[in-house]
Amino acid sequence: MKISFKYISYFFLFILGLSMTLTSCTSDLDVTPGDDDEFLSETFFQDPASYKQVLAKLYAGLYVGGNDGDGSADIAGLSGDFSSYLRLLFVTQEFTTDEAIIAWADGTLPTLNTQTWSPANEFLEGTFSRAFYHISVANEFLRQTTDEKLTARGVDANLKAEIATFRAEARFLRAFSYYNLMDLFGNVPITTENDPVGFFYPEQKTRAEVFAFVESELKDLDTSLAASKTNEYGRVDKTAAKFLLAQVYLNAQVYTGTAKFNEAAALCKEIIDNSGYTFAEVPYGDLFSADNNRNGAQSEFIFPIVSDGNAIRATGAGMSFIMHASIGGSMDAASRGMDGGWQGIRTRREFVNLFPDETATGDARGTFYTDGQALDIANVGTFTDGYAVTKYINKNADGSAAQRNDIPDIDFPMFRLTDAYLMYAECAVRGATGADVATALGYVNKIRERANATPITTAALTLDFLLDERGRELFWECHRRTDLIRFGKFTGGSKIWQWKGGTMNGTSTASFRDLMPIPARNIQANPTLKQNPGY
């Protein structure tokens, strides 16, 4: 039978209540489900299509902020557009580094530009809450799809088999959220489908314990996710789990104090050699165009966050935010395939200096808009201070128009094969067993050849070079903060960029800022949470 949309809305409102055990004030936390909640769940799941609808919500939740695009926000404290997962991940991974800076003075947003944030930062609270909301949706889906419940509902064997894959994908997406929480905040609670529904204080785990949970989940998913490249585009498979596990291992020394470069290298080599994903033999810019799901770029997209201008009506979330906010000054929005600009995001002088020139002549990846833009940022609030970035474009590779000019079609490449090349190269230079420097050099030069950049020699393949090369290849793809921390360059004085520490030419910052603070409101909601040192 067809389920009324009101039941879909009620179902996700119920999940929102569950997530408040982690993210809201204690007076709002008493959300123990009663008979009506059980009725809503059972009514919702009478439709066999409802299982895939919830899975779709999990994927869409990476892009949009609510059930109605930017409206009906999933989490409190920020509007739907400000609170989307991808937007908040971009804010925390990019604005805090040399790759990006934003002109806007909304609330505590400017403190992310300068590494001067506090536990009261609403964008960090939004990031924390968004990840736990995503976890809550995954947990409830897993509760509702046990064999016992499916049998009681009369679900047939074919649908049960399909739902088993859905469950694996939900567990992957939950692990992805825990990975981001571990990376950003360190010690966080862990909740699963086996925890009670309703009010309780989830126990805060150490970063090492979160690491162990994520590692265990990703290893286990190798037996239940779809085989590599057999799932629908935009949905994850076994290779996505291997890739995320490689990232976890690459940063293991940061998270646990014990390096796992050997394990990271082995996974990267397996992905490169056996996954079926292939290096995209297209111009670099095609990887970030409106048709990057079909122009050849998709051959290396292991985990894209899908954007569709007609299907995803979110004007301020995900790629819509990245595109609109990076257009301003004398830039022609139409030439970027957009309807206008919001005069927000630029890059910093030190990042521009990673490239041989400002015109993408010596390296096609150095795509900057410089007309009327100053290289130096004298005033953070002035869009024309700092070069604009034109990496993404809402036009097809052949120059034709995308579906719309207000909501882009560009899929965000969360995981792509090129990063596996770079991770392998880093592991090789760090001395990982089984990782070969000559092979790594070949991977790096293959990447540089696509960018029309000069090939390098073995002598040039150093850790400093690889940090810079990761910046050149992967900038604005939500990696920079994590990379800088792994290389010991995020805080302190070994790497300085404009406005780091709150001064124009930059200054050293305290090492405790390698971790974000646990948001103050979340500690108020769960008094068992302990704040990170320094805050």
Same domain, 51 and 184: yes
Tell me the average pLDDT across 30-50: 61
Same domain, 207 and 90: yes
Place of tokens 């580094």: 97
Give the 3-state secondary structure of residue 426. Answer: helix
How far apart CA 491 and CA 484 sit, in angstroms, is 8
pLDDT for residue 433: 97
Which residues pair with residue 68 across a beta bridge? 71
Same domain, 60 and 152: yes
Boundary-marking domain end, from 411, 429, 464: 411
pLDDT for residue 68: 58
Q: Residue 14: pLDDT above 80?
A: no
Which residues pair with residue 301 across a beta bridge? 416
- Model confidence at 425, pLDDT cuts 50, 70, 90, reads very high
- Model confidence at 29, pLDDT cuts 50, 70, 90, reads very low
Boundary-marking domain end, from 384, 411, 438: 411
Tell me the average pLDDT across 423-445: 98
Same domain, 207 and 268: no
- Model confidence at 15, pLDDT cuts 50, 70, 90, reads very low
Boundary-marking domain end, from 392, 411, 430: 411
pLDDT for residue 82: 74
Q: DSSP letters of 488-512?
A: T-SSBSSS--TTGGGSTT---B-GG
Percent of the chain with pLDDT over 70: 90
Please tell me the pTM assigned to this model. 0.93
Q: Residue 326: pLDDT above 50?
A: yes
Check if the beta carbon of residue 115 is closer than 8 Å to that of residue 535: no
pLDDT for residue 528: 94
pLDDT tens figures, 220-267? 999 999 999 999 999 999 999 999 999 999 999 999 999 999 999 999
pLDDT for residue 207: 99
Q: DSSP letters of 210-248?
A: HHHHHHHHHHHGGGTSPPTT-SPTTS--HHHHHHHHHHH
Same domain, 130 and 164: yes
- Model confidence at 64, pLDDT cuts 50, 70, 90, reads confident
Answer yes or no: is 460 within a domain: no
How far apart CA 321 and CA 71 sit, in angstroms, is 15
Same domain, 266 and 293: no
Query: What value does the mean pLDDT of the chain take?
Result: 92
Range of the domain at 508: 44-217+501-534
Q: Residue 440: pLDDT above 80?
A: yes
Q: Residue 414: pLDDT above 50?
A: yes
Tell me the average pLDDT across 467-491: 99
pLDDT for residue 197: 83
Count of structural domains within the chain: 3
- Exposure b/e, 451-478, CB count within 10 A at least 16 = b: bebeeeeeeebeeeebbebbbbbbbbbb
Q: Residue 347: pLDDT above 90?
A: yes
pLDDT tens figures, 88-97? 999 999 999 9
Answer yes or no: is 406 within a domain: yes
Same domain, 119 and 168: yes
- Model confidence at 81, pLDDT cuts 50, 70, 90, reads low
Same domain, 336 and 436: no
Q: Residue 496: pLDDT above 90?
A: yes
pLDDT for residue 39: 45
Tell me the average pLDDT across 389-393: 99
- Model confidence at 78, pLDDT cuts 50, 70, 90, reads low
Q: Residue 59: pLDDT above 60?
A: yes
Answer yes or no: is 4 within a domain: no
Same domain, 94 and 212: yes
Answer yes or no: is 25 within a domain: no
Q: Residue 175: pLDDT above 90?
A: yes
Same domain, 404 and 304: yes
**CATH code for position 207:** 1.25.40.390
Check if the beta carbon of residue 90 is closer than 8 Å to that of residue 322: yes
Answer yes or no: is 476 within a domain: no
Answer yes or no: is 18 within a domain: no
pLDDT for residue 67: 64
Check if the beta carbon of residue 517 is closer than 8 Å to that of residue 118: yes
**CATH code for position 271:** 1.25.40.10
How far apart CA 175 and CA 163 sit, in angstroms, is 18
Least confident of 80-89, 246-255, 287-296, 526-535: 80-89
Tell me the average pLDDT across 468-492: 99
Tell me the average pLDDT across 105-124: 98
Same domain, 383 and 236: no
How far apart CA 5 and CA 183 sit, in angstroms, is 36
Answer yes or no: is 24 within a domain: no
Residues composing the chain: 535
Answer yes or no: is 12 within a domain: no
Check if the beta carbon of residue 86 is closer than 8 Å to that of residue 320: no
Which residues pair with residue 415 across a beta bridge? 303
Same domain, 50 and 185: yes
pLDDT for residue 27: 28
pLDDT for residue 17: 46
